[in-house]
Structure 1
Amino acid sequence: MSAEPTQGLSAVGDGHFTSDKLAEALVDVCATVGLDPTGAELLRVTNNAVYRLARHPVVVRIVASRGLRHRVAKVVQVARWFAEHDVPAVRLLGGVEQPVRVGQHLATLWETVPDGGVRPRGRDLARLLRRVHALPAPPYPLATWQPLDDVRRRIDEAEGLDDRYLEFLLRRCAEVEGRVQDLDFVLPPSLIHGDAHLGNLIASPAGPVLCDFDSSCIGPPEWDLTPLAVGVVRFGTPAGRYRELARTYGLDVTRWSGFPVLREVRELKLITSVLPIMVSNPGVRPELLRRLEDSRRGDTSARWVRYT
């Protein structure tokens, strides 16, 4: 999943993954594993098209970005590692070899999280992150943190963006990457979620569970504390939610000297998350351009609204 949810249908990367093709892919995926797609609900489309089946307690997640298909095998591995260690997280559907490949599409299938439970809070995210960060290293190679890799891939897939903006983004990526390499992190590297915000927690009767492991890797735990902090500044997320996260986790990343660099990385992700669907989902364009202009001007206090 991307840095923030985007609703609506989309085409990705020169229109190759259109809404119609993704819907056809859902039918094909379901046929492959013996499920009925009738009445399926499209929950969201960004880097993945996420459908909830009406006739089975199953969520189908179809990769909708050519540049990010390489992450699917990792998602399956991390989900199994979390299950093995009883981390509260979404679970892969059993009895199915995953990921499922149908033509040019890759998909993963998940057990639906039962409805109910209270809205997740900052302290819930902190407790889950502490569990993730305390896990032993998985017994298989897991990529190390390369936070600008997906940003560059999205720039490569950009639909209809002026060259001056593309050049700005590539230049900013190079500048920020240099600053990232100079960081001296406080905490030892560990398995990290990689996109740890409250939108990637799902309420359940048994308590919140983590979802979306696309960005999981071995990296600095400080990165997992950054999204909520940036959300306070850019989206007006109540500051108390971040304070609760910091207090429960035991570290306020905003007081660390390296936080401004992590904020730059996070904001690049927030800006570029919709680049591959800008033409096919034109409603995102005004907000995207506003974010780009704020970034070009160095305006660090402008409020953004979530892509819709």
Structure 2
Amino acid sequence: MEPSELRRAIGAGRAAASELGLDVTDVTVVHDSDRVALHLLPCDVLARVAPSGQLADSEFEVEVARRLALVDAPVAELDPRSDGRVRVRDGFAVSLWTYYEPLPSEIAPTAYADTFRRHHAALRRIDLAAPHVTDRVAAALREVRDPERSDELSDADRSFLGDTLADLSAALGTGRTGEQLLHGEPHPGNLLNTRRGPLFVDLATCCRGPVEFDLAHAPEDVAQHYAGADQDLVRRCRALNWALFSAWRWRREDRMPEREHWRAEGLNRVRAALRGRSAPT
């Protein structure tokens, strides 16, 4: 967020916690993008603060968290001292979550795959209306194909990115055997290593599709430890994920840090994934 917007977001997070009687004297910014995560102290709460235009996404995330907590999913939970509601303060939607101190050690591929298995099993136990993966692709295509929404994307890259999204989406289709609810964006940044074990966060991206779409967000060796995964489909989904990532970076309204770097890098990663190899880091 822009500095002035971030200050307002911090104020909104403070206000939402204080209204519940939680003591807030210090705030640390844990994550800053189109929405922010704030560690509020000494009450030890994580506040997720998004522009109020994302209120529906915030409410959806809270509902997903509520339902998954009932089936013992490996996910971050809402703070038990809150009432689980999303509050709108000063143009921001605020939800309050349990804060988990991250452990410094990396999550091994086998543990990552096991957490996936447990999470997917829990998702199969809840009944929730969620968009299909191909709906997300359709939204990205609208951004790519409209020069007014992605005005700095060259004609050649626009054609490449649009064709890639359309072709890979068609290959996925709908109604595949084994499709289910997914996390939607379970990349390493959304899997915390905690004393409770690995926990998924950022649940607003929940969608429907093959489990391979989730697996494609993880480091490449994780899918090899997930029994029954279609490795060829994982590779195609990895290309699709990078194409989706690239589409969002070329939006005029995108505010991701280091956006210029990730615009070029995203396209490089798409091409590398289509060739079936890793892009250089």
Class of the TM-score when normalised by the shorter of the 2 chains: 0.7 to 0.9
Aligned positions of 1:37-76 closer than 5 A = 37-64=24-51, 66=53, 68-76=54-62
Per the alignment, in what secondary structure is the counterpart of residue 38 of structure 1?
strand
1:266 maps to which of 241, 246, 251: 241
Aligned positions of 1:58-97 closer than 5 A = 58-64=45-51, 66=53, 68-94=54-80, 95-97=82-84
1:26 aligns with 2:13: yes
Q: CA deviation at 1:159?
A: 11
Q: C-alpha deviations, 1:82-128, integer Å up to 9, x for none? A: 21011121110123242222242112111111454843222222112
Give TM-score, length-normalised by structure 1: 0.72
Q: CA deviation at 1:193?
A: 1.0
Task: Give unpaired runs (5+ residues) of structure 1.
Answer: 1-9, 230-241
CA distance in 1, matches of 2:24, 2:144: 33
1:246 aligns with 2:232: no
1:215 aligns with 2:205: yes
1:147 aligns with 2:136: yes
Give TM-score, length-normalised by structure 2: 0.78
1:200 aligns with 2:186: no
Counting aligned pairs with the same residue, the percent is 18
Q: CA deviation at 1:250?
A: 1.1
CA distance in 1, matches of 2:253, 2:193: 31
1:112 aligns with 2:99: yes
- Decide whether aligned partners of structure 1 residues 181 and 292 sit closer, same or farther in structure 2, where only a CA change above 3 A counts: closer
Q: CA deviation at 1:72?
A: 1.6
Question: What's the C-alpha RMSD, in Å, of the aligned pairs?
Answer: 3.8
Q: How many residues align?
A: 276
2:140 and 2:247 in contact (8 A); partners too: yes
CA distance in 1, matches of 2:137, 2:130: 17
- Decide whether aligned partners of structure 1 residues 277 and 80 sit closer, same or farther in structure 2, where only a CA change above 3 A counts: farther
- Output the amino acid matched with 1:48: R
2:131 and 2:207 in contact (8 A); partners too: yes
Per the alignment, in what secondary structure is the counterpart of residue 62 of structure 1?
strand
CA distance in 2, matches of 1:148, 1:112: 32
CA distance in 1, matches of 2:32, 2:261: 18
CA distance in 1, matches of 2:6, 2:155: 25
1:180 and 1:261 in contact (8 A); partners too: no
CA distance in 2, matches of 1:112, 1:284: 28
Moved more, 196-205 or 78-87: 196-205
Query: 1:122 corresponds to which residue?
Result: 109
Task: Give unpaired runs (5+ residues) of structure 2.
Answer: none
CA distance in 1, matches of 2:251, 2:132: 24
Query: 2:86 corresponds to which residue?
Result: 99
- Decide whether aligned partners of structure 1 residues 298 and 262 sit closer, same or farther in structure 2, where only a CA change above 3 A counts: closer
Q: CA deviation at 1:214?
A: 1.9
CA distance in 2, matches of 1:18, 1:166: 33
CA distance in 2, matches of 1:164, 1:282: 18
2:86 and 2:95 in contact (8 A); partners too: yes
2:48 and 2:94 in contact (8 A); partners too: yes
Q: CA deviation at 1:213?
A: 0.8
CA distance in 2, matches of 1:159, 1:35: 44
1:193 and 1:224 in contact (8 A); partners too: yes
1:49 and 1:64 in contact (8 A); partners too: no
